[in-house]
Amino acid sequence: MTIVQLFEDVKEYSLSEIVRMISDLNYERQVRGELFEIQEKFPLLLVYYLELDESKRELLEIFRKRNPDYFSGRYSSDVIRFFENPQNSVGRHARRVRYTYQILECFEENLKDSKKEFNRAFIDNYRGSSWHRCLASSIQKNLGDVGEIVNIVASARPEILEYYVTPERKKGLREAIRFRKK
C-alpha cells in the first residue's frame, strides 16, 4: 500500500494533518504491528484509526491482545465490555474493524452466488462463519450506516460498490425500468 492509495479519497485533510498521519503510520507499524496489520488491508480504516489519539490507540491494542479474534471478524458477540462506553470513538472503531471483516466475508460469499442481490437484506440473512444473522441490523444499531462499512471495504475491494444495492440505488433502477417501459 502506498501513501497515495491511503489518502486518495481523503482530500479534506490539511497538509500538516497528512504529514502527522504519515509519521503516525510509521510509528504504529513499529509499536503496534499486529493491530496495524489487521487494518492495513483497508486504507480508509487506517485513516479512521489514525484520527484517534495515542491513548485511544493504546486502548485498542490492549483490547486486541485480550480478544484476538474480535478484530478479525471471528467473534460471535458485539458486547464490548472492555470499553467504558462502547459508543465512544474507541468502541466505534473496534466495531468498524470487526464489521469490515464480516462485510468482506459476506461480500465474497455473495460473489459465489451472483443471482442474489448484495443488499441489506442479503447481509442480514447471511449466516457468517462466526456470527448469526442480522449483521446489517447490528451495524445500523451500533454505527448508524451500513454504507460506512461498505465504503471501508471498498477502499481495498472497490468492486463491492458495483454490487452493493442501496435502497436509493434500487429506487433509481426501478424508475429507469419504468421509464424504459413507457
Is the pLDDT at 58 greater than 70, yes or no?
yes
Q: Mean pLDDT throughout 152-158?
A: 90
Residue 174: HSE in the Cβ half-sphere, 13 Å Cα cutoff: 7
Q: Contact 65/58 with Cβ under 8 angstroms?
A: no
CA distance 73 to 84: 21
Q: Which domain holds residue 159?
A: 3-181
Domains contained in the chain, number: 1
Q: What percent of the chain has pLDDT over 70?
A: 73
Q: Give the per-residue pLDDT at 49.
A: 92
Q: What is the pTM of this model?
A: 0.78
11 φ/ψ angles, rounded to the nearest 5 degrees: -85, -10
Give pLDDT, residue 140: 80
List, for residues 7-22, the tens digit of each pLDDT value. 555 566 777 877 877 8
